[in-house]
Structure 1
Amino acid sequence: MKLKLDVAEMTEDFFGDAHLLGIVAPVRDYQFCWQLNRQFHFNFRINIGLEIQLNKKNRNYYFPVYEHKEPQFYRNHYIYKNQHDGEYLLPEFRHLDFLWLIKGDEVPSQLIADIQQGIRTISGVQLVVELTNEKIKHKEHLIF
């Protein structure tokens, strides 16, 4: 008997309480997270256990994930690097350097607006945009 993993259901569960921002900022990932930590008084740290591995063209590509937890709000923030060695985590958004995923119980729209505004003040940031679920073709690449 073969068991089949229902990726669609997994993806729906994962993104049920999530918001995703796309960011154009041609800087190194650790520098960007350092700037975010200063701007928002967050504590983004790389989480090796969440690193995304994609296999394309008989080669493995690794995409680091940085994490910040807000336990008082039961909310987590994740920064994904969208590009590694010429491959993209979300190929439909090749122009984006980073993805900021916010997951949690309640994510007020004012928080999203404040984060977008704060990101725009960071040196090197050229664009911040909220990505709607319908536009993301490869959602399964973001699931850890």
Structure 2
Amino acid sequence: MATVKLSLNTDQITEEFFEDTKLLGIVTTVKDYKFCWNLNNLLELDFRINHEIEIKLKRKRRLYFFSVYEYRDPNSSLCHYLYNNLHDGEFLLPEFKHLDFLWLMKNDTVTDDYLEQVKAWLREIPGVQLITELTNEKIKNKDYLIF
């Protein structure tokens, strides 16, 4: 009997997940819990860690867990997700080793003005050194961000 190999095509899932999203890369000198505390207190947001959507990757015969913080805007359907890009010396997105966090905005239209406002807010936070917008084309491992 012939063995049939099946493979899962995630292209459509990935495309739908990233539809109408904006993604920022952030470099900072502070730990994730302190960075979220600053976001919540200085910007009056409510980011909270969500263990249900934590990213688990197996690399080098080891499991790595990348925390994801979530904030749902109460005035719209916009959801904010803050991914920790580093865990125990391993990177969620190895092509962005210089970034500490990835801030994904989805489920509602994010205007250029709003995105610029978020960048301005981030610049006010102590320890933030760099903020850059990432396009989907720049991300090699998009499927690592899907939960």
Shorter chain as denominator, the TM-score bin is: over 0.9
d(CA) in 1 for partners of 2:107, 2:75? 11
Count of aligned positions: 144
Matches within 5 A, 1:13-92: 13-92=16-95
SS at match of 2:75: helix
**Amino acid of the residue matched to residue 39 of structure 1?**
L
Identity of aligned residues (%): 53
**Amino acid of the residue matched to residue 69 of structure 1?**
R
SS at match of 2:116: helix
TM-superposed deviation, 1:2? 5.9
* Residue aligning to 2:116: 113
d(CA) in 1 for partners of 2:42, 2:7? 44
TM-superposed deviation, 1:71? 3.9
Gaps of 5+ in 1: none
Structure with bigger helix share is 1
TM-score normalised by length of structure 2: 0.93
TM-superposed deviation, 1:69? 0.3
SS at match of 1:72: coil
SS at match of 1:116: helix
Contact 2:21 2:109 in 1 (8 A): no
Matches within 5 A, 1:91-130: 91-130=94-133
TM-superposed deviation, 1:100? 0.3
TM-score normalised by length of structure 1: 0.95
**Amino acid of the residue matched to residue 64 of structure 1?**
S
d(CA) in 1 for partners of 2:80, 2:63? 25
